[in-house]
Amino acid sequence: MPASKQIPFSQLLEKFKKTMNGEKVKKQPRLVLIIMANTHDAALNEGCVKDANAVKKVFADICKHIHYDLCAIEISGHNYHRDNLIQAVDSIILHNENDVTLFYYSGHGFSYHKDSRRKYPQVDMRPHNDQVQYNKIDFIEKHTENLAVILNIIRFKGARINIAIGDCCNTIIPFKRPLKSEKDMNIVKGIMPGLSKALTKKLFTDAKNAVSILVSSSQHGQPAITDMAMGSIFTHHFTNELANTISNKPKGNQYLPWLRLLKQSANKAFRDSKGYDVGDGKKGKQKAVFEVFIDKE
């Protein structure tokens, strides 16, 4: 949608709230989907639009198939702003023990210098801005958040299943992580549930387990690849894997084999990335990183 015709965020937020407050949605589980796509950046616009549309479609189809209600909002164009993300998260209302919250991001991402122990990227949420300070590090840091931090902001809304996916670069910038961000990362480390190597159907569907899934399309130091014809290659394969999985499941079956889906998507994106030049004649080697955290009662 062209920025000049874009619906103001206040209206989108009001509609988002209404979808969560209706009597109908209180009777069955819901998927709360927040999409943040940097469609105002000329270098990313086409790919981010494709990514957002693919994610909206596949999760709308999934919700119909598994009998979940979909409560979705997209933060893009001139609405693209960290404050709008926080407002959307603050608006989340949950009613069912099987409610799911999912944050999906498509845009720029990076890692700080000498910070390889942090696997997940900083999500770049700089709003549309033509002023000089837009590319200054102070302005960038003011409008960035680590993907792991975003997962935990969402997690504390209380859904049993929480997922954060970032399809963005994870390349290194020549600046050290600022003190405030360092503190935020240490808090995340202290409050995250236990890391799990497995996510079986039993673990995923047990109402006593709170499940968190964290996904980055690229590992520390790596660029992520976007193809103008298909969008970001990881998102392309991920949404296709989801669609194919659902098409082979009986209606109402609410279990998705997340780890298998993510592994297959990562492998296909890694294979395809080798066919792209990521600079200086180097072939891509984009490999997604993902982890599952389970909090057991």
* Tokens matching residue 38: 């940097």
- Assign residue 256 a region (left: φ > 0; alpha: ψ between -120 and 50; beta: otherwise): beta
Given this model, what pLDDT does residue 24 score? Answer: 56
Give 112-154 pLDDT, tens digit per residue.
Answer: 999 999 999 999 999 887 665 777 889 899 999 999 999 999 9
CB hemisphere CA count around 263 (13 angstroms): 8
Alpha helices in the chain (DSSP H): 9-21, 45-66, 82-90, 137-142, 147-155, 179-191, 201-205, 233-247, 258-273
Given this model, what pLDDT does residue 2 score? Answer: 45
pTM over 0.85: yes
Given this model, what pLDDT does residue 3 score? Answer: 45
Residue that is written with structure tokens 């997604």 in the block: 288
Give 235-273 pLDDT, tens digit per residue.
Answer: 999 999 999 999 988 887 888 999 999 999 999 999 999
Q: What is the dihedral of CA 275, 45, 219, 117, to 10 degrees?
A: 160
Q: Split the chain (297 residues) into runs of 10 and give each run's mean pLDDT.
A: 73 94 72 96 93 98 94 96 96 91 97 95 88 79 96 95 98 95 96 94 93 97 94 98 92 88 98 94 95 91
Q: Which CATH class is domain 3-296?
A: alpha beta
Distance of alpha carbon 71 from the chain centroid: 15
Burial readout 4-39 (b: 16 or more C-beta within 10 A, e: otherwise) = eebeebeebbeebeebbeeeebeeebbbbbbbbbbb
